[in-house]
Amino acid sequence: AQSVAQPEDQVNVAEGNPLTVKCTYSVSGNPYLFWYVQYPNRGLQFLLKYITGDNLVKGSYGFEAEFNKSQTSFHLKKPSALVSDSALYFCAVRDGNTDKLIFGTGTRLQVFP
Amino acid sequence: DAGITQSPRHKVTETGTPVTLRCHQTENHRYMYWYRQDPGHGLRLIHYSYGVKDTDKGEVSDGYSVSRSKTEDFLLTLESATSSQTSVYFCAISGEGGSGNTIYFGEGSWLTVV
């Protein structure tokens, strides 16, 4: 069965510093990996995805993520955090054999001025 | 925005009453999903649909039923609401193209069962 783990409930980072939000996954087939962001009282917004090809994926708002097959990880990164990046971030995986998108429990990112 | 409208956006209902949430899309996408979001659990898939009249269960389908009689509408019904179904419900859609297709979300429906 497919699953996603986000080991950190919260990540705190100072504005201007690099940020990393961690995600590991488990699937039986080829993984399709996604990151979403959620602002308070809103739906989820798509940030980026990995399907195949380059292990470094670039997405919206300056975010990028690195796919690491050997470590089954797909960590979200940004070189320089902004206060406006503060939000809830979800990693998700879709097994190539199913239509289901399975989410992690989410990581709250807090960027301090 | 992905052209997804959820209704109602907020609802308070009593235990034991039936409740139907509606998701309407204007994208003509084949796949539609219902998720619920709860603290500590992230988003969990309730049911999904891969075409008109074609639906399947997700992780937390007990107590819920769905129907899809038209491409654009996907209804989620709580036959007899319980307090454990107090949650935020999100509809999502995805087009053709396989598992790499992006899933887009609506703005959510806040349901409180008292």
For position A97, what pLDDT does the model report? 63
Q: Give Cα separations from B113 to A45, B5, B11, B13, B65 (angstroms).
A: 27, 22, 8, 5, 17
Q: Is B39 helix (H, G, I), strand (E, B) or coil?
A: coil
For position A41, what pLDDT does the model report? 86
Given a contact cutoff of 8 angstroms between Cβ atoms, the answer to whether B114 and B13 are in contact is: yes
Q: Is B88 helix (H, G, I), strand (E, B) or coil?
A: strand
Window from A12-16, A93-97, B9-13 with minimum mean pLDDT: A93-97
Interface membership of B88 toward A (CB under 8 Å): no
B41: closest chain A residue by CA: A105
For position A29, what pLDDT does the model report? 81
Distance CA A45, CA A38 (A): 6
Q: What is the mean pLDDT of residues A23-50?
A: 92
Cα of B81 to nearest chain A Cα, Å: 23
Average pLDDT, chain A: 93
Distance CA B114, CA B84 (A): 10
Could you tell me which of A29, A110, A25, A112 has the C-alpha nearest to residue A75? A25
The answer to whether the CB atoms of A49 and B41 lie below 8 A apart is: no
> In chain B, which residues have pLDDT < 70?
1-2, 97-99
For position A53, what pLDDT does the model report? 86
